[in-house]
Amino acid sequence: MSASEQLKKIVSDCGVIPTLVIEDLNSAVPLAQALYDGGLNVLEVTLRTPVALQAIQQIRQALPDVVVGAGTVCDASAASAAHDVGAQFLVSPGYATNLGDYCRSKQIALLPGVATASEIMAALADGYDFLKCFPAAALGGTRWLDAIRGPFPDVRFCPTGGISAADAGSYLALPNVLCVGGSWITPAAAIRAQDWVRITTLARQAYEARNSG
């Protein structure tokens, strides 16, 4: 099974991938634990902060049952750095052939971002048929995904960007959507306040949305 096929199985089982922006390294493991306690065992730590790589490493070490990916991976250098600290999959906001080639050569699972039919065709040409639809809400949300299914019936998506608890279920109900991603499960205010009970509650609600989708 290829790295991409493995990734499809992982995310289809989880349904919802919370996006983590970790500013304080001390919050990394408690945050991941709170999400896991709510039923979500696949997480994406974005590489937008100085402690992101350390956070991935700490979560992997502390919570072996949690699958940890790195987000906002834009080039091979970032892909290598994330893989070296234990990231089990990578997520990029767009698609570039050099990044796709690098990940494929290293057998690193990559979820590339697309926003147009041309980008989908470029990713397909390089062997990627499981793609991140980003920014989903701005593109048209479920209407865009439903429309794109006509020319690309075999492509599966993980929409992210502007998704909320109110509409996650409608995305998950689409036949070409394997999972959704978003930050509504990890609000910055709750993280700063170390309100892990709230995070667990939001995670549980997201898990239920997945089951009803």
The pLDDT value recorded for residue 14 is 84
CATH topology of domain 3-212: TIM Barrel (3.20.20)
Q: What is the pLDDT of residues 158-210, one digit of tens each?
A: 999 999 999 999 999 999 999 999 999 999 999 999 999 999 999 999 988 76
- The half-sphere exposure of 67 on its side-chain side, counting CA atoms within 13 A, is 21
Domain spans in the chain, listed from the N-terminal domain onward: 3-212
The pLDDT value recorded for residue 5 is 83
Can you name the residues that pair with 19 across neighbouring β-strands?
Answer: 44
Per the omega criterion (within 30 degrees of 0), is the bond before 135 cis? Answer: yes
CA distances 98 to 69, 122, 155, 200, Å, are 20, 12, 21, 38
The pLDDT value recorded for residue 153 is 97
The pLDDT value recorded for residue 119 is 97
The two three-digit tokens of residue 152, written as one number: 């690309």
CB neighbourhood size of 114 (10 A): 26
- The 16-20 sheet, strands edge to edge: 110-111, 89-91, 67-71, 42-46, 16-20, 180-182
As annotated, the active-site residues are 44, 132
Q: What is the pLDDT of residues 28-58, one digit of tens each?
A: 999 999 999 999 999 999 999 999 999 999 9
pTM of the model: 0.94
Distance CA 151, CA 46 (A): 31
